[in-house]
Structure 1
Amino acid sequence: MEDLVRELAVDKHARYIVSVEKRKDDFESVVMEHLRMNGAYWGLTTLDILGKLDMVDPDEVITWVMSCQHESGGFAGNIGHDPHILYTLSAVQVLALFDKLDVLDTDKVSNWYNTFHIMFCLIYKVDVAGLQNEDGSFSGDMWGEIDTRFSYIAINSLSLLHRLDKINVEKAVKYIVSCKNVDGGFGCTPGAESHAGQIFCCIAALAITGSLHHVDKDLLGWWLCERQVKSGGLNGRPEKLPDVCYSWWVLSSLIMIDRVHWIDKKKLIKFILDCQDKENGGISDRPDDAVDVFHTYFGVAGLSLLEFPGLKPIDPAYALPVDVVNRIFFGG
C-alpha cells in the first residue's frame, strides 16, 4: 500500500482543480459554464478529501454561491441561469463544506421545493402538489421531468437542512421501491433499466430515510460486484467499459448494503491510480484519456471509500466528508 500512496499525486490534483476555476475561457470552463455549481461541489469536495480546502478563499466561494440563488429559494448552476434541484443540492453541499449553512434561509430553500412547481401546475392546470408528485416522485424543475435522481437530491438536501418534514417521506420511499427491478437494481422510473448511478441514488435515499430493509442486499450486491471488469475498474451496466466515476456509484452502494468485500479493492485502487495525469494533475474516466473535474472528484472519492491512506473519509450516502456530516447532525 505504501507504494500506492506515493502514486497518488495529491498536490498536482489539488493544483489542477484550482487552476480549472481560474481558466474561464478554455473549452472545459465554457462547456461547464451552465453547471458551474456542480463543478464547484466536485472540485471543493475533492480538495477537502485531499486536505487542501485551504487553497481557496471561503468568502469568495460563499459570495458566488449565494449570488446563484433565485428569489424563489432554489439555486442555479451559475449566475443568470434558472434554478434546478441538481444545483440546489450542490449549493447546500458547498456551504456545508465551509460550515456556512447558517447563511441560508432554510425555510425559503425548503419551501422552494413546493413554490417553483406551483408555477408548472398553474400553467398546465394540474393539481398543485408541490415538487413532490402524488405518487411520491420528484420533479427536477418547473418543466416536470421525473427521475429517481431527484428523489435522492430532495431527500439529501432537506435532510442536511433538517427539513425532511417538508415532504411525505413514506410516499417518497414507496416510489423509489416501485423502481426496483427483478435483478435487484433500480432505474430512473418504474420499469427503467437498472443502472449503477440510479442504484446509488435509490440506495442512498433509502439509507438516509432508514428504509434499506426494502433492498434485497444479496441480489443487488451480486449485480453490483459483477460491474468489476478484468482491469479492476467498474462499469455502470453489463457489457460496458469501466469508468472511474463508477468507483463512487458502485462502491458507495456496496458499502451501504454491506457487500463491498465482494469486489477486489486492490485492483480497483490500481485502476483509479492508472487514470491519473501524473504530470499535470487530474483523473480521467479511463487510462490515457483527458482529465476533468468530474472524474477527478469521483476517483478521489472512490479512493476515500476504499480507505486509501491520507484521505479524509467520505459518507457514502450524503457524498460529503464524514466530519462535515457529523458536524451537521451531531455538532462534532
Structure 2
Amino acid sequence: MGYNMYGLLNEELDLNLHEKYFLNTITEKLGKTYNESRSSNKYESLFLSGVFWVLSGLSIINKDRRNLNEVLDNNIIELIYILVMQCLEKKKIKEKYIYNLKKEKYLLSNEDVHNIINTSKYDNNFDKKSYTKRKKLERTRIIHDSTEKNCSEKVKNINNIDIDSEENSSKMREPKHSKLINDGEETTSKKRPFSKINVKLNKSMNNLSCSEKKKKKKKFIVRGFSPCNKKFLYEANVISTLSAIQILFLLNKTSEDDISTKILLEIYNFIYFIFDADRGFFYFSLNSLRYRFDGDMRFMFCSLAILYFIKLLLKKRNINIHIYKYKEKCTQWISSCFNIDGGFSSLPGSESHAGTTFCAISSLNLLKGKSYENYFLENRLLKRRLIRWLCDRYENFGINGRVGKDHDVCYAWWVLGSLVSLKTNLSELFNVNILINFILKCQDRNNGGFSRVEQNENNFKKENFNYYQEEQLTYKETDPFHTFFSLCALSLIYYNVNYYKKKAKRKCVLYDNAVFPQYFEHVLRRLKHIHESFAMPIDMIKSPL
C-alpha cells in the first residue's frame, strides 16, 4: 500500500465503524457476552476509566450529536449512572487526626457544609472567605456583648450598694449568722440542705460542660470513587474519582438530584485531606497518605482536575469557594520534576516521560488563574526546551513516550496535547499528514478500533517474535484505550491546524505545500473539538475560574 501526494495512505477513516466498536464494547461488558476463552487485555476493564474512554469516544465521533441519549438507550445510561454511584465511598475522619495533620484550615466540617448549602439558597454571591469573616465577626460581637452585659450588671449592683441608706448598711454589717452560732440544731439543719444543693449544682454544671464538649466536636467526612463497586478490594483514589466525575458530565447527570452539593464538598475534603502541604503534592489515596508514599505527577493532575470540575458544578449552583490553595507549593513541586533534557518526570529525579509531561503542563495551566501567573510557562527559554523535547518524541514516522522506546499511537495524544496546551502550531513543528498517516495505520479496517502499533507490524511480530504467544497477541490487539486516544489526537490535529489557518487569514501551508485532502478533511470535520487537557468535548467544559 503506497502513499499519495499528501503523505496519506490510500484508505479512509470510517468513523461509523469505530462507533460500532465502542457500542459493541458496551454491550459486551454490560450484557455479559464477553468471550472468556479470549485472552484479556490490560487496556480492557470494567473500571471507571474504561467506561470514560468508551463514552467520551462516542461523544467525540459525531459532531452533530448533542447528548449520548441519541446513541444509547436511557436504560443503559441509567445503568451506567448507577454503576458509577455505587463506586462512591464515604469515610469519617476523626477530629484529632484533622488537627494532628494540620488540615483544619482547608477542610470543611459538617457544619460548614450545611452553612454553605443553606447560604447558597438565598445568596447568589456567596463567597467562602466572606462567609468565614462574617462568622468570626458575629462570634466576636456575641462575646463582646455578653461580657459588656455582665460588666454593666456588676457596676449596677455596686452602685446600688453605694447608694443604700445607713440603715441598710447597718443591716448589711450586722452578722446574720449570730443566731445560728448560738443554736447548734439550727446550724446543722441548715448546713445539710446547702451541701446537697451544692452537689446537685456541681453535677448539673459537669453535665452542661460535657454537653458543650460534645457539641464542640466537629465531624469531617470525605468521599471518593473507587475503580469499581467492589469496595472491599479497591479504595477510593484520585484517578477513579476524576473518571467518575467526567462520566457524569458525559451522561448529563450533574444536577443536584444526580450528585448533591454535599457530596461535591465532601469530595473536595477528600482531595485536600490527601494533600501534603509541606512538600506540595497530592497522594493517590488514603492509604498512600497513611504510609507516606511519594508523590506522582499523574495524581497532581487528577487532583487539580477534580477541583476544576467541582468548581464548575458549584458555580452553577451559586456557590463560590476558593478552590485552588497552595498554588506556589504545587508549582514548586512540579518545577522540581523538570529535567535538564526538557521533559517532566513522575517525581523529582526520575526519567522524563511524555505522559507525565502532559500531566505537568496541564497542571500548570490549571494553577494559572487570572490573579496568578505561572512563571514556568512564561519563561521562554524553558518553554523552548520543553517544546524541543516533545518534538524529539517523533521517531520513525511515529511518536514514542521517552528516549529509546518504540512508537505507540497513544503518545500521539500525550505529545500533541502537550504542544497544543503550550499554544503552538502543530503544522509548523511536524508534517501533520505523516502523523495522521501513522495513526490511520493502527486502525482495524474490518472490525473497528485502534491498536497500539501498526496493523502490518502486528502481523510481522506475530510470526517472528512469539515468545509468549497469548501475551503477544493481546499486546497488539485493538482496545478502547488506544481507540479513544487515537480519535482524540485526530481531533487535536484538525482543529489546531484550522485555528492557525484562520488566525493567519491565509491558506495553511504545510511541508511541501501540502494540505488536508478534501475527502479526508470532510471526515475529520465530523469529529468534535476535543479539550487538550481533559479529553472531552470542549463544549462541555467552560472555565469557572
Distance 1:32 1:241, change over 3 A: closer
Larger radius of gyration: 2
**Structure 1: which amino acid aligns with 2:385?**
L
The reply on whether 1:159 has 2:175 as its aligned counterpart is no
Q: 2:477 aligns with which of 290, 294, 297?
A: 290
Offset of residue 264 of structure 1:
1.9
Match of 2:15 in 1: 10
Task: Using structure 2 for the length normalisation, give the TM-score.
Answer: 0.54
The reply on whether 1:55 has 2:71 as its aligned counterpart is yes
Offset of residue 33 of structure 1:
7.4
Deviates more, 1:204-213 or 1:268-277: 204-213
Superposition pairs of residues 164-313 of structure 1, within 5 angstroms: 165=323, 167-210=325-368, 212-215=374-377, 216-231=382-397, 233-259=398-424, 260=426, 261-288=428-455, 289-307=476-494, 308-313=524-529
The reply on whether 1:139 has 2:283 as its aligned counterpart is yes
Distance 1:322 1:164, change over 3 A: farther
**Whole-Å Cα distance in 2 between the matches of residues 254 and 237 of structure 1?**
16
Offset of residue 258 of structure 1:
2.5
**Structure 1: which amino acid aligns with 2:284?**
G
Deviates more, 1:276-285 or 1:22-31: 22-31
Offset from partner CA, 1:23-46 (integer Å, 9 cap, x none): 244457785676620001111111
**Whole-Å Cα distance in 2 between the matches of residues 286 and 270 of structure 1?**
12
Match of 2:50 in 1: 39
Instruction: Provide the identity percentage.
Output: 33
Deviates more, 1:313-322 or 1:130-139: 130-139
CA contact (8 A) 1:155 1:164 kept: no
Task: Using structure 1 for the length normalisation, give the TM-score.
Answer: 0.87
CA contact (8 A) 2:44 2:480 kept: no
- The 3-state SS of whatever aligns with 1:315 is coil
Offset of residue 234 of structure 1:
0.8
Distance 1:30 1:274, change over 3 A: closer
CA contact (8 A) 2:245 2:306 kept: yes
**Whole-Å Cα distance in 2 between the matches of residues 278 and 30 of structure 1?**
20
The reply on whether 1:92 has 2:103 as its aligned counterpart is no
Distance 1:132 1:15, change over 3 A: farther
Tell me the matched-pair count.
313
Distance 1:70 1:275, change over 3 A: same
Q: Which has the higher contact order (CA 8 A, sep 6+)?
A: 2
Deviates more, 1:258-267 or 1:181-190: 258-267
CA contact (8 A) 2:342 2:385 kept: yes
**Which structure 1 segments of 5+ residues have no match?**
116-129
Match of 1:22 in 2: 27
**Whole-Å Cα distance in 2 between the matches of residues 155 and 5 of structure 1?**
43
**Which structure 2 segments of 5+ residues have no match?**
1-5, 92-222, 312-320, 456-475, 495-523
Offset from partner CA, 1:180-212 (integer Å, 9 cap, x none): 111221101111111000000000011112155
**Whole-Å Cα distance in 2 between the matches of residues 292 and 67 of structure 1?**
25
**Structure 1: which amino acid aligns with 2:71?**
M
Offset of residue 6 of structure 1:
7.0
- The 3-state SS of whatever aligns with 1:194 is coil
- The 3-state SS of whatever aligns with 1:15 is helix
Offset from partner CA, 1:86-124 (integer Å, 9 cap, x none): 100000111112332232221021112245xxxxxxxxx
Deviates more, 1:96-105 or 1:237-246: 96-105
